[in-house]
A and B are shown apart, each in its own frame.
Chain A
Amino acid sequence: MTVLSEIIDATGSDVKQQLKTELLDLIQGAKSESTEVIKETGEKIEKWVKMKVEGDIDADELQELLNSRKATVQQFLNTQEITAKARMEKISVGLIDLIVDKAMGVIV
């Protein structure tokens, strides 16, 4: 059982069972992901919910942390897009340059 599951069990008569199951599945799925950013997201969300339940942070702060995490993931994806496109350009332009500069004489 995860830490989050224990927290919800201890506090949550008002948490609907279906939502609870869905949330726990998502958290567990994220934590077992091999992609670091997804795994880290699952771990952080679990930690922050625990901090809220234990009174270390309030609801506004939890909301802010969750929004910040969402922004970090969006930035990560944007960077992935840039990296993939730049790589594609480097490879294709590099190939053209190689042929134009060095291999044209051999081919033609």
Chain B
Amino acid sequence: MNSITSTIPLIILSLALSGCALFTSPYDVTRHENFTKLKAVHMKFFDDWTVGTDKTWNLESVTSYCDNGDLQYREAFEYAKSTDKSDSTGERAVKILWESFTSNCALSLKKEKLFSKVFMQELRPEIEKNYNYAIAGELARVTKK
């Protein structure tokens, strides 16, 4: 009898929780892939436009890379938005990364020169960590059978 009376509230609680918006969207393989692709886009931007490479800063090339990158973030954002029915955590994760990429592009275009090695030693790990958190978030989601 005791086990029955103690189990019923748990069942009610569980049913209540399963029906409300406290949950988040399930794991999505494309959203996961988008995070890794965007990370590669962002890291390549740093590789190409930092002192130490054989490149010289070029307005046309940087603008072109940033425009193409922007489109990829936009696509990933729209995809996340379309699959993120339970809450906005998926699209928010992309938006944070997108804004960082936009800001880094704007700085490069403002300075009109390659990023210094010292600056990049600080910025790159910070940006990488951001992507790693986003990927960890996607992997933490429930996998639907």
Contacts and interface: CB of A to CB of B under 8 A. Distances in A.
A17 B23 CA distance: 47
B7 A99 contact: yes
Interface stretch (B49-57, B58-66, B86-94): B86-94
Interface in B130-145: 130, 133-134, 136-138, 140-142
Size category of the binding interface on chain B = 35 or more
B24 A82 contact: yes
Given A65-B126, A82-B140, A92-B13, A75 B133 contact: yes
* Chain B facing A: main interface SS: helix
Given A75-B133, A82-B89, A57 B118 contact: yes
Interface string B85-107: 00101001100110110011001
The 8 closest A-B pairs by CB, nearest first: A79-B137, A85-B24, A75-B133, A82-B137, A83-B140, A92-B17, A92-B14, A68-B126
Interface of A: 44, 47-48, 51, 56-57, 60-61, 64-65, 67-69, 71-72, 74-76, 78-79, 81-83, 85-86, 88-90, 92-93, 95-96, 99, 103, 106-107
